[in-house]
């Protein structure tokens, strides 16, 4: 354990020890005595530090969740009601989930069939798609292709193809998949280079930063942000919470 972690543990421990909060009003000698008692306690029972660190972690997680809920509320229009965003499931659904994803992300690919099950089972679910290409140039190119495909009403079809893809979405691969879906490749390629396409990606990036999203996939339901590939039962609990 690092010295920094030990110091943080002692701070957390001091907050848990009765009377320690009063240490600020003690003399230098009395404060030193309190610290010595804490150190002696840690030597005799190291689990105290483990428990203190666990309490500190819970407090940090609670604080982060509160900040994220506040950020979601402030940006509700951009998250849930941007008319430019692609929507899967029921466009008029009363239950909305926002999904930040990268087409090259393995966990996003793992989540894909689970989200499909949710959409098929719960007909009032609306999934707002937020392209977040954070895994390099090929991710950016794939996101631009998806946004361009939306202009040909084929966002969903190309999204499914790319999420099932098990090779890099290079330009030749994107062209192959687009043409297989009967997209107009020349038009798609022009739309990929449209400044509006990149602007949309940048808006998603800005939203992700504001919400402290640190990876993909990231799901937002109500004011809850859920990172990672979750199972169907978890998704159904989220949708049930929204309905209630």
| Same domain, yes or no: 124 and 217 | yes
| Same domain, yes or no: 94 and 174 | yes
Residue 72: inside a domain: no
- DSSP assignment of 156-206 equals HHHHHHHHH--S---HHHHHHHHHHTT--HHHHHHHHT-HHHHHHHHHHHH
Task: Average the pLDDT over 35-42 and give the result.
Answer: 77
| Same domain, yes or no: 238 and 129 | yes
| Same domain, yes or no: 129 and 50 | no
How far is 16 from 14, CA to CA, in rounded Å?
5
Nearest to 88 by CA among 237, 219, 198: 219
pLDDT tens digits, one per residue of 163-214: 999 999 999 999 999 999 999 999 999 999 999 999 999 999 999 999 999 9
| Same domain, yes or no: 29 and 122 | no
The number of distinct structural domains making up the chain is 2
Domain that holds residue 43: 3-66
Residue pair 97/127 in contact by the 8 Å Cβ criterion = yes
Residue 29 has what pLDDT?
82
Last residue of a domain, one of 15, 33, 66: 66
| Same domain, yes or no: 234 and 116 | yes
How far is 15 from 18, CA to CA, in rounded Å?
8
pLDDT tens digits, one per residue of 130-158: 999 999 999 999 999 999 999 999 999 99
C-alpha to C-alpha distances, 69 to 79, 192, 221, nearest whole angstrom: 12, 33, 10
Residue 71: inside a domain: no
| Same domain, yes or no: 82 and 28 | no
Residue pair 29/186 in contact by the 8 Å Cβ criterion = no
Residue the block writes with tokens 């280079």: 193
C-alpha to C-alpha distances, 138 to 62, 102, 147, 157, 170, nearest whole angstrom: 36, 10, 14, 19, 6
Q: How many CB atoms lie within 10 A of CB 140?
A: 19
CATH number where 167 lies: 3.40.30.10
Q: What is the pTM of this model?
A: 0.75
* Maximum pairwise Cα distance, the chain: 80
| Same domain, yes or no: 60 and 85 | no
| Same domain, yes or no: 89 and 56 | no
| Same domain, yes or no: 43 and 87 | no
| Same domain, yes or no: 155 and 54 | no
Residue 86: inside a domain: yes
Task: Average the pLDDT over 86-111 and give the result.
Answer: 97
26: DSSP letter: S
């Amino acid at each position: 354990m690092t010295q920094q972690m030990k110091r943080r543990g002692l701070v957390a421990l001091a907050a848990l020890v009765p009377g320690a909060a009063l240490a600020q009003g003690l003399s230098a000698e009395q404060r030193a005595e309190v610290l010595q008692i804490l150190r002696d306690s840690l030597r005799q029972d190291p689990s105290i530090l483990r428990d203190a660190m666990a309490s500190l972690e819970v407090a940090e997680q609670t604080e982060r969740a509160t900040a994220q809920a506040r950020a979601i509320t402030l940006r509700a229009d951009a998250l849930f009601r941007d008319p430019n965003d692609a929507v899967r499931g029921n466009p008029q659904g009363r239950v909305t989930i926002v999904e930040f994803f990268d087409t090259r992300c393995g966990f996003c690919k793992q989540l894909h069939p689970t989200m499909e099950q949710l959409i098929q089972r719960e007909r009032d679910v609306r999934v707002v798609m937020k392209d977040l290409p954070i895994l390099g140039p090929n991710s950016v190119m794939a996101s631009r292709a998806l946004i361009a495909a939306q202009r040909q009403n084929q966002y969903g079809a190309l999204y499914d193809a790319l999420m099932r893809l098990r090779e890099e979405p290079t330009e030749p691969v994107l062209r192959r998949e687009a043409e297989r879906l009967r997209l107009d490749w020349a038009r798609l390629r022009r739309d990929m280079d449209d400044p509006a396409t990149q602007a949309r990606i940048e808006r998603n990036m800005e939203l992700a930063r504001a919400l402290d999203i640190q990876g993909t996939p990231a799901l937002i339901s109500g004011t809850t942000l859920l990172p990672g590939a979750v199972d169907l039962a978890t998704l159904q609990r989220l949708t049930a919470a929204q309905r209630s």
